Homo-oligomer: A and B are copies of this chain.
């Protein structure tokens, strides 16, 4: 697997664009991705009972051959009733007419404020501007990645190449994250393009598996969104022999797809609303894989622990406490805990007992942009990693007055 400098337009046959349509005051707010040929598609969506209209629409549409996707930021089209569903369909139809396909071949995705109906005149003009601006160059892909941002502070793209049957297969993805980010899919939108030849069923299997230890292991604020969407489009233009289940090629493809997912998920955690630090929690020697995942996620989700990391305060008790209420099965008396960063490492708990440590060294370790929490549960052989961010004044500021 080769990591290259690319984005969603890098795989063969994909073009993209991003424009300012007027949903937001000044910033880019609409994007499209389009393939030359119809794609096999797969998707993973929010498990929130309250699903935004585009999620309801995509869950059905992703089973069809897909030519492209229309994405807007600034309005989530969530809690918008029957009108919201009609607006999602209408958006797809506007794009379909331009592309010469059917509405059922176009996916839509939205992120932004909840509970406001879509201004369809702006959307229509936006889709047309996006279509007109489509390009398969690097810059067009970057424009799209920029247009899907809400409170994100940087664009999130990743691209990798693998060899399958003598052909170069490229996978690329872009994502937006920031707020309402929580395990099991949050206001997180992720779009992955690939020129791989692979069936919808196998693609869905690979995506569902890849999401578990990537997007489902990040948390920014514990709020699971109404709009979470990860979609992958595969147009087959790499002309590789079709990737079948349970083969070496599948494993290669999965590894690449997982890299895309994990890289974008970690970027979303690092760019959590107001975040100044990325927190990576690594639990090992847990009784089961599930226990390891639950404990790792519970620690990166704890407000108290996140606030302590913001203050570079080695308040490790809050991590153990979060493991304790997570529902995971473990023995507190066996746990050891170490903080690690580029500034060094420090043991703070050993086999359930506090370690007397140098506060100055702890402060130095925790004054880094990436803090790793190593947790040895010492009661089994399973491990898991979760990612989150610190809780800061700016998180409160951003969310105290998001709509204005």
Contacts of A302 in B (CB 8 A): 222-223
Q: Smallest Cβ distance from A308 to chain B, in angstroms?
A: 6
Would B50 and A307 count as touching, CB distance under 8 A?
no
**Extra inter-chain contacts (19) besides given A79-B317, A81-B354, A303-B399, CB under 8 Å:** A48-B324, A49-B324, A49-B325, A50-B320, A50-B321, A115-B316, A222-B302, A223-B302, A223-B304, A223-B325, A224-B321, A224-B325, A304-B399, A307-B399, A313-B402, A313-B403, A393-B393, A393-B396, A393-B397
Bound form: Cα–Cα A221–B221 in Å: 11
A323 at the interface (CB under 8 A from B): yes
Bound form: Cα–Cα A155–B152 in Å: 41
Would A352 and B81 count as touching, CB distance under 8 A?
yes
Look across to chain B and name the residue whose beta carbon is closest to the beta carbon of A226.
Answer: B321
Bound form: Cα–Cα A224–B401 in Å: 28
Q: Smallest Cβ distance from A45 to chain B, in angstroms?
A: 13
Decide yes or no: A311 and B399 within 8 Å by CB, A76-B317, A114-B317, A114-B321 being known contacts: yes
How many copies make up the complex?
2
A251 at the interface (CB under 8 A from B): no
* Interface residue range, chain A: 35 or more
Bound form: Cα–Cα A400–B396 in Å: 14
- The SS class assigned to the A binding surface is loop
Contacts of A48 in B (CB 8 A): 321, 324-325
Within 8 A of B (CB), among A30-61: 47-51
Would A311 and B391 count as touching, CB distance under 8 A?
no
A3 at the interface (CB under 8 A from B): no
Q: Which residues of A contact B (CB under 8 A)?
A: 47-51, 76, 78-81, 113-117, 179-180, 182, 221-226, 301-305, 307-308, 310-311, 313, 315-318, 320-325, 328, 330, 332-333, 348-349, 352-354, 391-393, 395-404
Bound form: Cα–Cα A392–B396 in Å: 6
Look across to chain B and name the residue whose beta carbon is closest to the beta carbon of A322.
Answer: B223
Look across to chain B and name the residue whose beta carbon is closest to the beta carbon of A223.
Answer: B304
Would B307 and A400 count as touching, CB distance under 8 A?
yes
Bound form: Cα–Cα A248–B33 in Å: 70
Contacts of A311 in B (CB 8 A): 399-402
